[in-house]
Amino acid sequence: MPPKVRISSTMINKLTNLTSNNTGRLFGVMSDNSLTVLSFALNPSPDDEDVINPTELQLNMPAEIDLCGILCVGECQEDIPNAFKDIDITDNPLLIKYSLENNHVSPYYYIHEKLMPAPELEIISEAEIWQRFSYIRLKTSLPMVTQKCELTEAFQTTRKNIASGSVGFHFSDSDIFLLGNDSESREISTKELAKKSFKNIPGYIDVIDVTMFMRMTNELSKENVLKYAPVLQQIKRPFESLQFDLNIDTLSLVGNNLTATQLYSILVEAVCRSLRLLERSLMQQLDNDLFNIPEIMHFKPKSFVHLITIPYPTGISSEDMKRYRKKLDKLLAFDMLSPCFKRGNAVKFARDYKSNDPILQPHKAVKSTLVGQTHISIVDGLYAYHHYQQDSFNDSGWGCAYRSLQTIFSWFRLQGYTDQPIPTHRTIQKCLVDIGDKPPNFIGSNQWIGSTEVGFVLETLLGITVRVLCATTGNKMTDLNWSLKEHFDTQEIPVMIGGGVLAHTILGIRFNENTKETQWLILDPHYEGAENLSTIINKGWCGWKNEEFWKKDAFYNLCLPQKPICY
């Protein structure tokens, strides 16, 4: 019986952005006799050179996300049944036809060498997906010693050893061990493992962490022990030897109803998939007389529902990877107007969070208070909350605009627009001196800066443009409602506002067009405490503020950074 088919609403929205005929491949996960289609990749055109084929992308996916069908966009056709030859997740692969004229999605099953109409697709939201599935993240290190000419054989041997049951896994948060021949009942479910592991930190990805260990001895009875004399053969010849540690960092996407014992084979597949991905990266480097150990990085583009894994060779910058990133963007139908796979785009996991790290996206914990029909627009993307006394630097009373600038700069950094570190107060001051805006003695001083200087620094360090808005009094702030809404809808970047002696960061706006009632989502850089989200929210350092927040006798300048077009 063909599986029930669900499809991600995020993928449906992505299909609506396609404008030309094409074909592609579908990726999804099978669970409880239901196929959940999560993403697609487009086939390259015949004229393209040095391309990535969609089938190759499976190694970049979390284990359990597999090739599950084909996609036909517009009037394009695929060679049936040849197009289905690489699909082994199901005996009844899926074909989806997408109409460019009316955005209609038509699903078909390939059953007994015939295309049969499938029942209507169930469209599920991203939130519903994460009610059904969880990520497992496995990290380990494998020593590799091999001759350069035998690297492929070394990877094959390593995969064979892992698949033979010689490894075990440990879920540290639940203190559960899984062994290849383990017959002990493990009734705990993935959902229960997640409850023990998830931390719900804004801006961080929650995963179930697991480690891998190798069995050092075999379980053999005395009767099975072979008795023979050791033989040593010595051959003297020159050769190139490679000795390195291979750092595995791999993901699996698993159904929350699975029990721990059902995860063993999935984790083995995840490690083997990661080994193939790393092998491909190293072999491509050797073809170009390079050898840099890859660093595994995970990414989640905005219009993508699941994570993608990319091996970044150490010492290779995002700019050096530009050609590869461009091919990947094209394959996954991204607009190539903003970076998706630069180092700065890599996701952060809750396990890697440190208590003194700047808090990411604190506004996610803020409850809205304005009711009724309102227009609402909020910053989109990761940013870090920078405030007084951070980094063991005392800027209380004068550094609020510097901190607001750092918050804005963090948005560009975490969106992958720059690899530059967050500028310090001294770096900001030196930049203003270098462009002739301030005298040399400004460096190292405790002098304030305003929105104009913030704009100068952003333009200089990031090469972007800024837009400036003005309100002659606090009462006039509502005159800027539509301009701020447009900014957050299109640019999605935090806004710095300076007025009187204070600077703040605006993260969003909501207003009722009829009553004119307005609220601004404010991030206050004057906070001087520890990185405690509960305190920051409960004490109002990040929250919605009404019109009384603005001083009636103050003049306000707003610095609105603009997104550059780059990838």
Closest Cα partner for 331 from 104, 5, 87, 53?
53
DSSP state of 149: G
Closest Cα partner for 525 from 421, 367, 426, 408?
408
> Among this protein's residues, is 400 annotated catalytic?
yes
E-strand spans in 256-349? 294-299, 308-313
Contact 397, 507 (CB under 8 A): no
Catalytic residue among 68, 272, 340, 400: 400
CB neighbour burial string for 353-388, b if at least 16 within 10 angstroms, e if fewer: eeeeebbbbbbebbeeeeeeebeebbbebbbbbbbb
Catalytic residue among 425, 524, 542, 559: 524
Contact 318, 343 (CB under 8 A): yes
Sheet (strand 241-255) strand order: 176-179, 167-171, 208-214, 133-147, 241-255
Phi-psi domain of 539 (left: phi exceeds 0; alpha: psi -120 through 50; beta: other) = alpha
Structure tokens at 214: 């190798």
> Among this protein's residues, is 524 annotated catalytic?
yes
Catalytic residue among 76, 170, 173, 526: 526
Residue 527 neighbours by CB under 8 Å, 6+ apart: 387, 388, 536, 539, 541
Residue type, 341: F
* CA 406 – CA 120 distance, rounded (Å): 49
Closest Cα partner for 203 from 442, 84, 1, 379?
379
Report the catalytic residues.
400, 524, 526
